[in-house]
Structure 1
Amino acid sequence: MPTVTIHILAPAVAPADAYDRISDFSRYPELTTTVQDVVVRPPSPDGSVLSEWTVHFRNGLLKWTERDTFSPADLALFFEQVTGDFAVFRGSWRLSADGGGTLVRFDAEFDLGIPTLAAILEPVAEAALRGNILKILAGLLGEAQEIVVDAADPQVAGAAQP
């Protein structure tokens, strides 16, 4: 199953502030034309929310509803599609302090559910997801840069653990 992992350094934003901004999904359509609409439903008793997404992909739209689970104390949030166009779409956002700024790690795995076209569509979907996340983070966090990390680095590896 294809996965996307992105590390972003936002040197001028504190982790708690970055977390609040990333958790505000309703702002995402303002930050990239690819995200057409996000409707965030009221929280359920367990604190999770359902968010309904409409995103441009190739010559059409992808639509899905995901359950978003927030863990502000851990600076993490998790999402998993409950209905929609993907066969599988789930992942997480994890933030950690980096000097006076924030290191953001976005992880997602997805399956478009079209095995015969997987070799063609999955690289396109992966590139689109990566590009959109980078645009969204630049809009949310201002000065932000993608960084290449060494997975053997204990700080980075620790930030990636569930």
Structure 2
Amino acid sequence: MPQISATAFVPASAAELRQIAREGIGLPTLAPHVLEVEPQSDGTARWSVLLNGSRVGWTQREATTSGQRLVFTQTQGDFDSLAVTWTFAPDCAGTWVGLNIAFHLGIDGLAPLLDPIWAQSLRAHADLLLSALASAKEPNDHN
């Protein structure tokens, strides 16, 4: 299964960043490619984003929470499978945030052609999410 990883330093506490990543609620206003993050009554969250110029959606459930780690897995959506792992490593001036996305498109015959394209799009998605977290928690932010 292809995977991408991205990291960024954010001048905020791990607890604050973990809450934003867990809920995802404010991300559509901070990352324009995120069209919607809608919590569902069953504890899942439905995501809709623009990737490769197309609307892509999935519903994810929090699979694992341990210490400074959040893991979400797709329960339904446009990918055959999708797993998202956030890590939070506190530092004296903030937090190192890592985002790993593992995916499978389910189109095995075209995987050599499509996987690199989708990996590039998901890498851009991860970078934009990390930038959104950083902008949400800039030092002069009074929220």
TM-score band, normalised by shorter chain = 0.7 to 0.9
Deviation at 1:102, TM superposition (A): 0.4
Matched residue, 2:45: 51
CA distance in 1, matches of 2:31, 2:7: 19
Q: 2:117 aligned with 1:124, yes or no? A: yes
2:55 to 50, 61, 65: 61
Q: 1:68 to 1:143 in 2, by over 3 A?
A: closer
Matched residue, 2:128: 135
Instruction: Say if 1:6 and 1:130, in contact at 8 Å, map to a contact too.
Output: yes
Matched residue, 1:106: 99
- Identity level (%): 26
Matched residue, 1:15: 14
Give unpaired runs (5+ residues) of structure 2. 138-143
Return the TM-score normalized by structure 1: 0.74
Deviation at 1:70, TM superposition (A): 6.3
Deviations 1:16-70 (A, max 9, x none): 122122223122221223222121124x5xxxx2011122232432221111246
CA distance in 2, matches of 1:135, 1:58: 14
CA distance in 1, matches of 2:55, 2:12: 33
Matched residue, 1:35: 34
Map 1:89-104 onto structure 2 (within 5 A): 89-104=82-97
Return the TM-score normalized by structure 2: 0.83
Q: 1:33 to 1:116 in 2, by over 3 A?
A: farther
Give unpaired runs (5+ residues) of structure 1. 145-162
Matched residue, 1:155: none
Q: 2:83 aligned with 1:84, yes or no? A: no
Deviation at 1:111, TM superposition (A): 0.5
Q: 1:40 to 1:6 in 2, by over 3 A?
A: same
Deviation at 1:141, TM superposition (A): 2.0
Q: Helix, strand or coil: the match of 2:25?
A: helix
Q: Helix, strand or coil: the match of 2:32?
A: coil
Q: 2:108 aligned with 1:115, yes or no? A: yes
